[in-house]
Amino acid sequence: DIQMTQSPSTLSTSVGDRVTITCRASQTISVWLAWYQQKPGKAPKLLIYKASTLESGVPSRFSGRGSGTEFTLTISSLQPDDFATYYCLQYNSYLYTFGQGTKLEIK
């Protein structure tokens, strides 16, 4: 099975900061990676798919990069609504795997 290692697990940040979250796959997954945002008590919301394609309606301050085994999600200028938990998902295999999550906290 493919393991996804996401870091950091928690990030204390401020509005306006540039934030980068990393996911590493245990084997190559090409570009088959998605990013989700989740707020407490809510279902995950799709942000990015195919490593770098922005889902319709998602603000352009979100961007994704990477291929193979290393991927990043960047928020260029953090907004109050962005404080949430972020997960990566590899979908190279039907045995999907999520990263452990990154919680963005207000500094």
Partner 1 sequence: ELQLVESGGGLVQPGGSLRLSCAASGFTFSSYEMNWVRQAPGKGLEWISYISRSGSNIYYADSVKGRFTISRDNARNSLFLQMNSLRAEDTAVYYCARKTFDLVGYMDVWGKGTTVTVSS
Residue 16 structure tokens: 């306006």
Q: How far is the CB of 89 from partner 1 (least distance, A)?
A: 6
Q: How far is the CB of 18 from partner 1 (least distance, A)?
A: 24
Q: CB-based burial of residue 64 (10 Å sphere; 0-12 exposed, 13-18 middle, 19+ buried)? A: buried
Residue 64 binds to partner 1 (criterion: CB under 8 A): no
Residue 34 binds to partner 1 (criterion: CB under 8 A): yes
> What x/- string results for residues 13 through 32 when contact with partner 1 is judged by CB under 8 A?
-------------------x
With tokens 């938990």, the residue in question is 85
Pairing of strands 4-7, 10-13: unpaired
Length of the chain counted residue by residue? 107
Site residues (CB under 8 A) for partner 1? 1, 32, 34, 36, 38, 42-44, 46, 49, 55, 87, 89, 91-92, 94-101
